[in-house]
Structure 1
Amino acid sequence: MSISTTCEAPEAGRTQDRPAEAGRQLKDLARRGYWVPPGLLTLLVCLYRITRTGLWRDELATWSAIDRSPGQLYALLHHIDAVSGAYYFLLRGWVALVGSSVLLLRLPSAMAMAGSAVLVALIGRQVFDRRIGLTAGLLFTVIPSVSRYGQEARSYAFAVLAVAAASWALLRALERPRIDLRGAGWWGLYAGSVGCAGLFHLVSLAVLAGHAGIVGHRWWRVRARGPVAGFLLSVPLGLLPLLPLAWIGMHQQGQQLGWLDAPSVQYVGDAFWPGLFGSSWTSITVMALAVLPLAWPRGRRRTLDLYLLALLPVGLVWLVSQGGSHYFLDRYLLFTLPFWVLLAASALAGLRPRAVGLVGLVAVVLLAGPQQIQLRKPDARERFDAARAAAVLAADYRPGDGLAVPRGPYHWFFQVDTALRFYLPPQVAPTDVFRAKSAVQQQGLYSAACSQDRTLACLAAVAPPRIWVVTVADRNDPFAGLSDTEKAALTSQYRVRSVTEVPGMVLTLMER
C-alpha cells in the first residue's frame, strides 16, 4: 500500500498543477497582449452608430474624388487636392473591392484609429511600462475626437496611425547605440512611416520637430553617434518621395486653405484645444493631467520625449501659420493626440493610492460621454438630411425627370448634387437642368452651373416634363440658393405640384 501511495502522489501533484499552469499561461498571455484591448475597444467604439450621421461636405468631396476612373482621379489631383491623393487612391481601391456604403467608406478610418490605439499602448510600454501602456490605450479610446475622425471618410485617422508608428519605431531604434541589422530594420520602419505620414497629411510632418528633439536629447545624454546618423539618414529617405507632392501642394494651397486665417492666441484657447480633443471638458481634464508629471522629479526625464512630441508640432505649425500660409486647425494636428493621452495616462498611473488613478480615468469617460452621444446624432455634422431627401425623390421618380440644385459661391458648402448622387439608387438619375459641366468634366470636386445668359438655353436643351428643385432651406423659401435667372426660368415654364420638407431641405416637384 505504501508503494502504491508513493507512486500515485506525483500524478496527483501533476493534476493539481495543471490549473495553476493554465492560470499562469493565461496571465502571461494577458501580460503580453496588453495592447489588444485598446485596439478592439477603439474599433468597437468607432463602429458604434457609425452610419447614423450622413456624409458631410468633406466626405462628399472624398466621394466625388473616388467615384471616377484612375485617369480622371489623376487629372483631378493635378488641379486640386493633390495632398489627399494617396488617401483617395487607397479608398478608391478599397471601394472597388467591397463597395461604397456609408459604413464601408468610413470603416478604413475606424480600423486606422484602432491601429493607433494599439500603437499608443506600445509607446506607453516603451516609455514607461505595460500598465501605463494599457491605461493610455484605453484613455485614447474614449476621447471624442478619436470617434469623430474614426467615423469619417477622410485621411486624418491614417495620419494619426502613421505618426504613431513613426514615433514608436524611432523609440525602438534609439534603444540601440549602434546601427546593426536589427536597428537598421527599425530605422527602415521609421523612414517608411514618416513617408506615409506625409502622404496622408503633409502637416503631420511637423512631428519631425519633436523627433529631432528626442534624438538630440538622447545624444546629449549618452553621446552615441549611431542614433544621430540613423535619424539623419532615415528622414531624407522618408521625405524624398514626398517632394513632388509638396511642390504641387504649395501651388494648390490657395484653393485648399484660403479659408483659414492666421491663428490668434485666443483661438488656441477657445477653439483649438476643444476641437483637438472633441470636447471642452475632455480637453481641460486631459491637459490638466498631462501637466502633472512635471511635478514629479523621477518622471520628468521619461516624459520629456512625450512633451516634445505633443508640444513642438503645435508650436511650430502655429508659428508658420502667422505668415502668408495658414495650417493651424485642430484636425490637422490630430496626430499629436496620442502623446497628450500618454502624458495623461502617466499622470493617472502616478497618483496614489492607485484607486485615485482609476477614479480619474472614470472621470474622463464620464466627461467625454455627452460629446460621444452628440457626435452620433443625425445632425451632428450637417443640418440637412440628404439621405431622406434622396428617399423622397426616389419614391416618386419618373424616367425623364429633371433636377435643379443650388450652386454659386456656397456650392462647396452644401454639395447637394453630390449628396443626392451618392444616396440615390443607380436607376434613379434625374437630369441636372442647370449644370454646364460635371465635376469630372471640369477636373474638380464640384460641378459648374450654366452662366446667367445661358440659363434658359440650358433648361430648353433638356426640357423635362417634371423638375425636382432640391434646396438647403425651409418651406418658406423653397428656391433658396438658386439664382434669380434660374428662379425666373423655372416659375415661367413650370408650376409647383408638391412641396416636401425633410430635415434641413425642401424638395419642390414642378410640372411643365
Structure 2
Amino acid sequence: MEFRRAPELIGRLDGSVPVRQGKGVQGLIRLVLDYWLLPVLLLAAFTRFYDLTAAAIWGDEGSSLLLSQYSLGEIWFHAAHDVHPPLYFMLLHGWIELFGDGIFSVRTFSALPGIVTVGLGVWLVALVATRRAAILAGVLLALLPTAVRYSQEVRMYALLGMLLLGATLALVYWVRQPQRWRYLVIYTLLMSLAFYTHYFTAFCVLAHWLYLALPGLRSENGARLLGRPSWWLANAAIVLLYLPWVPELLDLLRHMDELKANGDVGWEPPVTWSSLPAMVWQLLIQDEGDSLPGPLFIGMPLLLLAVSALLAWRDNLPHRFGGLLVSFSLLPLFLVFAVSFISPVFIERYLTAYALGLPMIMAIVIDRWLKTARIAAIALLVLFVSLEGVGLKNNIDVDVNDQISVMVDFVNTHYAPGDRIVISDMLWYLSYVYYNRTDAEPMLYTPPLPDGASSRPNSYGFGTLVSETDEVYLDRLTALPVGSGRIWLVGTDDQPEEFAPLPAGWHKVSELAAGNTRARLFVLCGSAAVAQFASVQCP
C-alpha cells in the first residue's frame, strides 16, 4: 500500500492550505516531517515501553506462553480447543525462537504493533481530514490507556488493533479509488489475518458493511460501492481463506459446555444498563467509574457519544469517512453490549481494537471546532487528554513487590531438591510455570467436587495446555509422593482453606504472600526434612 494521498487533501497545520509532496522516498520523508510522525511514534513508544515489565505475567499471558511452546501444527490443534484462533500464538512462537521468552521480549511483541497502530491512525486521519487533525489523532492514540495497557500484555489484542485499523485504511483507499483492485487485495489479506487472530473481527466486518450501506455513498460514476462485484469477491475471498479454520470453530462451539465447565467462558459478569457507561470509563481511565457522582458517570460517556453522533450526522468529509470511523468505534460497542444480555462477553480487552476509533473521532471534531467554536474545542481536548492522563496513571500504578513473580522467586530461592509444589488454581498455575526455575514440575490440585465428580480440567480451554498425564494432577494431598518431605502449597492469599483439611503430620515452617497469592512450605513428620527446622515438634 502506498503511503501517499491526493495533494489537495494535505493541509498546513491549520488545515487550510494544501501542501504539495513528492513521490517515493522523498514523499515518505515529507509526510513523516509534515505529520510530526517521528515525535508521535516516540510518544507512543514511551507510553508502551514505560514500566513494560513492572507487572508480573498473569494467567492469560501464561497461557499464551505455554501455547507458543508447541510446534506450529500443535498450536493449530491446541488453539482449536482454546477460545482464540491460532495466528497470534504462531507468530509468538517464531518471535520467541528469535528473541527468547524473557518478559521484556515477549511483551515487546505486543508493544511494537501497538506503536505501528498509532502510525496507521495518523495515516488514516491524514487521508480523510486535515494535517492538524491527523497529528492530534496520533497524540491521542499514543495516550489511549486501553491501547497502552494491551500493548503491554502477551495477548493478541494489540495485533488485532493493528490489523483492523490497517484493513480500515485499505478500505478508505478503495473507496477513494474503487477501480484499484490492489487495495481490496490488501483489505482481504488483513481481514483474513484478523479473523485468524480473534473472533470479534466479525464486528469490524459489520461496521464496514454498515458504512458502505450509508445513503449517498457512491463512487465517482454514481454507482453504489456496496454493489460492486469487486467488494463481494473480496469478502468471498475472506470466507474462502477462513474455511480451513471453520471445522475447528464448529467443533469448539459444539463443546461449549466443556469450556464453561473449565471456566474459560461464562465467567464474565452479567451486564446491566450501567455497564455501557462503565465500559467507556474503563477504556479511558482504566476504572469503571462506579465511585463517581451519577451525573458525571452518565454525562461524560453521553458527551462523547453525542460528539461522535454529531460527526456522523453532519458528515461533510469526502465519501462520508466520518461515518466510517463512528461505525468502526460504536457499532461493535453496542452490538457486544446487546449480545451480552444473552451471553456476557462485555469485556474491555475484547473491545480495545474498536476503541482506537474514538481518539480519531475526537481529533477530527476538535479540529473542526477550532475554526468555529474554539473554546468548546479546547475544552473537549483538555477533557479527553485529562481522562487519558488519569488512565495512564492507573496503568502504571503497579507495586512491583506485590506480584506473583515475587512469591515464585521466594520458592525458587528456598527450593530444595525433592520438594513438591502444588498449586490450587489454573490461573495461578499458568503464571507459576513461567517463573518456575526449579527442576520440579508444579502440580495442579484437583480435589473431587462435593458430588464426588472430578474437578480436573477437560481438554478444552486452558485444560488443553496442561499435560494430559496423571503426573500433573493431584486429587488428594494424601496421595502426594513424599520426596524430600517438603511440600509447597501455592494458592490464593485470602483463601488458605482451599487446601483444607491438611493431612496429619504436616507442619508449616515458612510462607510468603505476594500478588494475591501465598506460598506455604510444609514439612512432613517422619521425613528427614524435619531436622532442618528446630521449631517443628513431631509426636
The normalised TM-score by structure 1 is 0.79
Match of 1:351 in 2: 369
Match of 2:195 in 1: 198
Secondary structure class of the residue paired with 1:470: strand
Match of 2:498 in 1: 481
What amino acid does structure 2 have at the position aligned with 1:430? A
Alignment of 1:293-332 (within 5 A): 293=311, 298=316, 301-323=320-342, 325-332=343-350
Match of 1:65 in 2: 67
What amino acid does structure 1 have at the position aligned with 2:64? T
Secondary structure class of the residue paired with 1:68: coil
What amino acid does structure 1 have at the position aligned with 2:183? W
Bigger drift between 38-47 and 311-320 goes to 311-320
- 1:274 and 2:281 aligned: yes
Q: Is the CA contact 1:317–1:327 (under 8 Å) kept in the aligned structure 2?
A: yes
CA distance in 1, matches of 2:284, 2:117: 15
Secondary structure class of the residue paired with 1:84: coil
Q: Cα 1:293–1:72, aligned 2, differ >3 Å: closer, same or farther? A: closer
Q: 1:52 aligns with which of 51, 54, 61?
A: 54
Q: Cα 1:212–1:261, aligned 2, differ >3 Å: closer, same or farther? A: same
Bigger drift between 155-164 and 300-309 goes to 300-309
Q: CA deviation at 1:219?
A: 6.5
Aligned length: 460
Secondary structure class of the residue paired with 1:345: helix
CA distance in 2, matches of 1:318, 1:451: 39
Alignment of 1:228-239 (within 5 A): 228-239=228-239
What amino acid does structure 2 have at the position aligned with 1:387? S
Q: Is the CA contact 2:79–2:86 (under 8 Å) kept in the aligned structure 1?
A: yes
The normalised TM-score by structure 2 is 0.76
Q: Percent identity?
A: 21
Alignment of 1:16-415 (within 5 A): 28=30, 31-81=33-83, 83-177=84-178, 179=179, 183-217=180-214, 220-222=217-219, 223-224=222-223, 228-253=228-253, 254=256, 255=259, 256-260=264-268, 263-269=271-277, 271-279=278-286, 280=289, 286-287=304-305, 289-293=307-311, 298=316, 301-323=320-342, 325-352=343-370, 356=375, 357=377, 360-378=380-398, 385-406=403-424, 411-412=425-426, 415=427
Give me the CA root mean square deviation. 3.4
Bigger drift between 259-268 and 292-301 goes to 292-301
Secondary structure class of the residue paired with 2:44: helix
Q: Is the CA contact 1:35–1:118 (under 8 Å) kept in the aligned structure 2?
A: yes
What amino acid does structure 2 have at the position aligned with 1:265? W
- CA deviations on 1:368-392 (whole Å, 9 max, x unpaired) are 2232122223359xx9622111221
- CA deviations on 1:18-56 (whole Å, 9 max, x unpaired) are xxxxxx999946554544433332122111111111112
Secondary structure class of the residue paired with 2:101: coil
CA distance in 1, matches of 2:279, 2:334: 12
Secondary structure class of the residue paired with 2:508: strand
Secondary structure class of the residue paired with 1:391: helix
- CA deviations on 1:387-429 (whole Å, 9 max, x unpaired) are 11122112222222221221xxxx23xx33332321133xx22
- 1:505 and 2:517 aligned: yes
What amino acid does structure 2 have at the position aligned with 1:259? W
Q: Cα 1:375–1:36, aligned 2, differ >3 Å: closer, same or farther? A: same
Q: Cα 1:483–1:328, aligned 2, differ >3 Å: closer, same or farther? A: same
- CA deviations on 1:161-208 (whole Å, 9 max, x unpaired) are 11101111011011124x2xxx11111001011111211111122111
Q: Cα 1:347–1:230, aligned 2, differ >3 Å: closer, same or farther? A: same
Provide structure 2 residue ranges, at least 5 long, that are not aligned to the other structure.
1-25, 290-296, 447-455, 525-539
Q: Is the CA contact 1:384–1:503 (under 8 Å) kept in the aligned structure 2?
A: yes
